[in-house]
């Protein structure tokens, strides 16, 4: 019971995503942050208002972190089909100091 709970808690905290999701997250963070930076400068310069630059930049960064950091389901759409665990090992006879371990 406690083990299962800890296991699920670790899954949530680690927030692992699959390889396709990692590629997508990388692309998203780069594109969104670069766009926010570019927009913040252009809008601020056009309106001659540096506070607008600051806030567009900060809000853009916050949105990017929100979009990229949590393990959203869309980052886990291509799970890997791992091979099934092999049973061969259990057939081996392993002896340590004359005692049979398995």
Partner 1 sequence: MHSTLVRAQTAFGFFTTVAFCVAALIALSGFVSPQTPSADIKLRNVQVVRGRPNYYSTKKEEYAHIKFDLDTDLSTLFTWNTKQVFLYITATYPSLKPSEPPSSAIIWDAILASPSAPWHQNQYEAPGTPDTRKSDPEAQKAIAAPGILHLQNQRPKYQITDYTGKVANRSDVVLELGWNVQPWVGALTWRGWSDWGVWKGLKGGRTERFGFPGVKERVKVQKEDLGTAKGGEGNRGKPA
Cβ closest to partner 1, residue 51 vs residue 86: 51
Contact 68, 29 (CB under 8 A): yes
- Shortest CB 7 distance to partner 1, Å: 15
- With CB under 8 A as the contact rule, the residue among 6, 8, 9, 15 that binds partner 1 is 15
Cβ closest to partner 1, residue 59 vs residue 102: 59
Beta bridge partners of 96: 99
Residues in 24-83 that interact with partner 1 by CB under 8 A? 25-26, 29-30, 33-34, 36-37, 40-41, 44-45, 48-51, 53, 57, 61, 64-65, 68-71
Residue 68 CA: distances (Å) to CA of 3, 82, 91: 29, 25, 45
Question: Could you tell me which residues come within 8 angstroms of residue 29 by beta carbon, excluding any fewer than 6 positions away?
Answer: 64, 67, 68
What is the Cα–Cα distance from 47 to 9, expressed in whole angstroms? Answer: 48
> Binding residues for partner 1, per CB under 8 A?
13-17, 21-23, 25-26, 29-30, 33-34, 36-37, 40-41, 44-45, 48-51, 53, 57, 61, 64-65, 68-71
């Amino acid at each position: 019971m406690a083990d299962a709970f800890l296991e699920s808690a670790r899954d949530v905290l680690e927030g692992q995503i699959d390889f396709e999701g990692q590629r997508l997250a990388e692309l998203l963070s780069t594109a969104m942050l670069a766009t926010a930076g570019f927009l913040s400068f252009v809008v601020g310069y056009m309106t001659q208002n540096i506070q607008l630059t600051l806030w567009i930049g900060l809000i853009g960064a916050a949105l990017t972190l929100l979009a990229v950091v949590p393990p959203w389901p869309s980052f886990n759409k291509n799970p890997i089909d791992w091979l099934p665990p092999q049973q061969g090992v259990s057939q081996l006879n392993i002896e340590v100091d004359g005692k049979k371990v398995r």
